[in-house]
Structures are given as structure tokens and as C-alpha cells.
Amino acid sequence: MKVLIIVLLIGLLIIAGCNGSKYTREQLDGLATCLKEKGVKEYGAFWCPNCAKQQKMFGKSYDIIKEGVYVECDPRGDDPQSELCLEKKVEKYPTWEFPNDEVLIGVQEFEVLAQKSGCTL
């Protein structure tokens, strides 16, 4: 019985230590900073489950995304830019817009964001 409890505790510690990303915080901060510097935009809404998933993927690095990449489309959200979203004809969230006017809809992997923006991981 004690062995089973010890094995379970070790398993929980291992699971708790895994963040699910193969990238370090520094790499994700670098990607987020590059996206910001390149003028990439992520259009979303505070209630959007896919936007929350994208945010969770970035972890704490999403604070950088919020500073200059993320655009809140819902007028009920914090610092909404609804008119810009209407002008850009954003209909689904998240919508990623790149400097060359290319648009991707939905949750994007880091590799895709890096490639489309010219950023590195």
C-alpha cells in the first residue's frame, strides 16, 4: 500500500512538472516579442474558447501578446477595438493577420506563427 502511494505521488509530481510545451519560456517570450515587433495581430474575444486555448499554449509569454498583438473584438471586453475587427472583416476567432496581409483562422502552432511571420523559435 505504501509503495502504491509513493508511486502515485511520484507520478503526480512528474505530471505537475510538465508544461506540455517543447519550448522554453525564453523561446516563447522571443516569439511573442518578434510577433509584436513584426506587426502580427491576433483578433479574438474574451469569451472565445479557442482564444483561451491559444493563450494557454503561450503561458506567461501571452502577456507580451496582450501588449501589442492581441486585438479584442467584443465591445464588452477590455480595451475593445470592435471597429477595427469589423473593418478587417474578422468573423472567427482567433484570426491571425500577418504583415503581408495573409490571414490564418483558428489556434496556430508556434512553428506556423514563426514561419508565417519570419520569426524564429
Tens-binned pLDDT, residue by residue, of the chain (121 aa): 654 444 344 543 344 344 457 999 999 999 999 999 999 999 999 999 999 999 999 999 999 999 999 999 999 999 999 999 999 999 999 999 999 999 999 999 999 999 999 999 9
Looking at the structure of the chain, the number of domains it has is 1
CA distance 87 to 41: 14
Residue 75 lies in a domain: yes
Residue 101 lies in a domain: yes
Domain CATH number, residue 98 = 3.40.30.10
Taking 3-state DSSP, the helix, strand and coil percentages for the chain, each rounded to the nearest 5, stand at 50, 10, 35
Name the pTM for this structure: 0.81
Distances (CA, A) of 79 to 15, 19, 45, 72: 36, 30, 11, 7
Residue 60 lies in a domain: yes
Residue 13 lies in a domain: no
Residue 89 lies in a domain: yes
- Return the beta strands (E) in 1-121 as ranges: 41-44, 70-72, 95-97, 103-105
The confidence score (pLDDT) of residue 8 equals 40
| Structural domain harbouring 57 | 21-117
